[in-house]
Structures are given as structure tokens and as C-alpha cells.
Structure 1
């Protein structure tokens, strides 16, 4: 089971989506509420939320998604238990909340909405709520003998075990035989061997990592092998010293003819690697630094 969570401000619209008759929505859980439709529930939320004007994203929205196989066996009573246990794990028992299950697709999932503001007007702390939601859902899944997200990921990795091994082998040949000097060269050499590398760049235009596409599969570098995360690849690439130091100073790099931001840790790693390479080369030539 996968758990997703975030704070939202558009309570009414989200509630309307969750409680949608066209999606065969069914209420499986509610607490401290009496309304009979999305509009009434939203108004009840707002009465409590009016005690705290500072909190703008004042509703918590969660999606709990059992695997397709687990979902086929779940009845209303069991879906209610999943929700109750999740609410308890997140320590949200004493707040207004309502949950709906959508059965319109083969993949059954639960939409849970909780008032972030409690009856004393205090806002629930939502730092790392996405990660906390994931961990809570995994704990509930284990309690109920359901498949966890980690098990799903492992099943997928086992399925593509041979593909992962092939990508790793190609990666090692590129590193040892071609000795790329930057990410652009690495991407070029891997493509020549039929491995497409897709940079993952977030909304802040910062490079987050790489995905490796090969024989119809798309995998994160760390899922191919732990040595193939972006940071580990950077450690093995011998960047030009001047370029690496520039990257470290500006926290940017040129990638595929575009400028992308990088974390300070990655930029510093590259700069230190380039300096070490320069020192080794100079010592080998008998030069003084």
C-alpha cells in the first residue's frame, strides 16, 4: 500500500472530487461531522478553521492506495479499518475527518480529508508530511498483512534483474574504457550503447538525478545499482578542474546545452575530485604544485 499526503487550501474542490458519485464514491470513514454532501462538510471544516487565520493550507489531503491484488479483496469494513489505523498512526484522531473510497477503476483507493485545525484552533505540523504518510501507510499495511510499497518496489526490481545487470555492465565499460570527463560525455557514450539517460530536473531547474531507459524499462540510477546514483557517478567522472570549481562556486552546471542547478554537495564533490585528479597527475609528472 502507498500513502500520499499534503496540505491544501482548496478544501471544497478537493472534497467535491473525493465525494463524486460518478466515481462510485462511498463514504468509509467520518468523525466529528454531520454534513450530507461536500458543500456541507466544507462549511463544517471552515467553522473550525476560522479560529486560525494564519494557516492558509488548512486541510490535510491523503490518498491510500492498496495494490491491485490487495484491493480486490477489501470490503467496506476493511477499508474503514485501514483508514482508522492510518489516522491513528498520523495522530489525527481528534479532528474532523472524512474518507471516501473510489471503486470506479481496477485500482481501488481511499481519499481522506482531515481538518488541519483542531478544536483549539491549533494547526497540525505538516513538515515532511509526504514521507510521514508513506511510513504510516507501510506500517498499517504490515499490521494488516498487506503488501507494502517497499515490497512492490522490490518485486519490480526483481522482475527487471537481468536488465539492471546489463545496464550496470554497460555503465562500467563506459567508465573504464571511455573515461567520460563530464555528464554530457557520459550520457553520449551510454546512448551509443542504446541506454538513454533522462535527467530528472525539478521545478527549480535543479538536477535531481538520472533515469536509465533500456529495452522498454525506465529505472532510477540507484535502482539499477547503488553505485549508479548521480552522486556516485559524479565521483567517478574526472571533470576539468576549472569547470568543476566554477560549478561549485555557482551551484550550476551545463548539461545537454542547458544550465541546470545542482546541490552544493554534488558541486563540491566534483570540485574535490577534479583537484585530486590534478594533484595525482602533477605528482606523476614530477611537477610541483
Structure 2
């Protein structure tokens, strides 16, 4: 679900767009009884003229559930969502003039346009400070509460998914460099460190409280990411360099066997 809001001067063009019956139908209204856009604008002006200081006296709001959610939401549900949305924006539904109109011209994707006076019936102007951000968070909060799809959550999930994919790629690259180093049958752990460093990976020892090496970590110089050896591959054990030599010999033998078979 997406929530949008902006303060604007309002006027006939915006109101005509919202109440266009070719686009949809009226959901509900508050403190209004006019039928035409002209009649409605005159009613809005009655309260708006109580406040001469405010310039943008109208809030143009949109509440748009996902297509999947609108298929299971009826008009009563949509009205409830709208009321919650307005309350989250500190709009008193009893003391403000507004009209909520459903647009459904886009393939069953119902979304709600709301033409709302910023000036309440006492002449007080509603703050429009960060109103756009507030609308986004209001929609997210309502969607989370009601078990609906939140656009903000979809964005977060996409970011996390991209991060996970990038992390897996980085770990894979480090492991491939490790395999390349041990296949060289190096004669010392220092030689292994040097080879890994030449490929952009610094191998750091992990020291315990007793001052003993209890493991190692890989630092990717390019990204400054730091991993335990077990996070790259559980079979990696650098404490005993013989392990590396043994793995290197096995890797070399495997490659040689494959070469002979292909030959």
C-alpha cells in the first residue's frame, strides 16, 4: 500500500479530476453536501476563508493498496483504511471537510483520491510539515497492522535481497581465491598470506584472551568486508598449515585427473 500527500492551492481542475465519474465513484465525504465541483468548491471556501494566513489550503491525498489486496477489499474496508489514514495524518474526520473518491479505471487496481481542506471548521490550519513522508509511513503502519502489502516493506525486502546476493557473490570470490592459493602448494603460511594479499584479501589472525591464535578472518580490501574463515567455507582451517598443503595436493590431483580424462 502506498500513501501520498501534498499541500496545494486546490481548485476546480484538481477537484474535477478526482470526482470524474468515468474514473470511478465516490466512497464517502465529510461536512459537504454539494454535487458539482463548483458547489463543492464554494463549500470548501467557507471554512478556508476563516484562515487568511495559509496559502496552500488543500491537501491532495492518495491511498493505493496493492492490486492483490484491492481484489479482496470491499468499499467498507477501503473506507476504514481511509479513515485510519486520515487519523494517522492528524486529520480530524469530524472537523474537516474532505471527499474520498475511488478510481478504478486501471485494471481492478482501486486507489483512493482524497480532496481535503487543510483548514478545519474553526479556521485552524493543519501542519503540512513533511506531509509526504508522513503519508508514506502512515500507509506502511496501516498495512503492517492489517496484514496488507506495504510498498515500503517491498522496497526493504528488495534491498535486503540485493544485499544478500551481493554478500554471497563476495564470499564466493574469496573462496575461489583461497582455492587458487592453496592449489599453488605453498611452502609456508606466510606465503599463503602474501598470495591472498596480492589478490586483494588480507588474512588476519583472531587472538583469544590467552594470546593464542584461535582462528583467522578474511578482509576483502575492496569492500572492507570482514568474514570468519568458517563463514566462507566450514572446511577452511588455517591453524595447521598442513591442512592447506593437503587440500592443495588434492586440488592439484583432481585437476590433473580431469586433464588426463579430457586428453
Q: TM-score, normalised by structure 1?
A: 0.54
Q: SS where residue 59 of structure 2 aligns?
A: strand
Q: Quote how far apart the aligned CAs of 1:151 are.
A: 2.0
Q: Are the counterparts in 2 of residues 29 and 83 from structure 1 also a CA contact under 8 Å?
A: no
Q: SS where residue 154 of structure 2 aligns?
A: helix
Larger radius of gyration: 2
Equivalence for 1:86: 85
Q: Quote how far apart the aligned CAs of 1:168 are.
A: 8.2
Equivalence for 1:105: 106
Equivalence for 2:37: 38
Runs of 5+ in structure 1 lacking a partner?
A: 170-224, 228-289
Q: Quote how far apart the aligned CAs of 1:12 are.
A: 2.0
Equivalence for 1:60: 59
Equivalence for 1:76: 75
Distance 1:35 1:18 in 2: 15
Equivalence for 2:243: none
Q: Quote how far apart the aligned CAs of 1:163 are.
A: 6.9
Q: SS where residue 105 of structure 1 aligns?
A: coil
Equivalence for 2:126: 124
Q: Are the counterparts in 1 of residues 140 and 153 from structure 2 also a CA contact under 8 Å?
A: no
Runs of 5+ in structure 2 lacking a partner?
A: 172-222, 226-263
Distance 1:134 1:167 in 2: 33
Instruction: Give per-residue Cα distances to partners, 1:56-83, cap 9 Å, x unaligned.
Output: 1100111111112112222111111110
Distance 2:13 2:169 in 1: 44
Point out 4+ residue stretches in structure 1 off by more than 2 angstroms: 154-169
Q: Are the counterparts in 1 of residues 65 and 110 from structure 2 also a CA contact under 8 Å?
A: yes
Q: TM-score, normalised by structure 2?
A: 0.59
Q: SS where residue 10 of structure 1 aligns?
A: coil
- 5 Å-filtered alignment, 1:1-289, equals 1-23=1-23, 25-93=24-92, 94-106=95-107, 107-157=109-159
Instruction: Give per-residue Cα distances to partners, 1:210-265, cap 9 Å, x unaligned.
Output: xxxxxxxxxxxxxxx9x9xxxxxxxxxxxxxxxxxxxxxxxxxxxxxxxxxxxxxx
Note the aligned Cα RMSD (angstroms).
2.5
Tell me how many residue pairs correspond in the alignment.
170
Distance 1:43 1:137 in 2: 30
Q: Quote how far apart the aligned CAs of 1:33 are.
A: 0.8
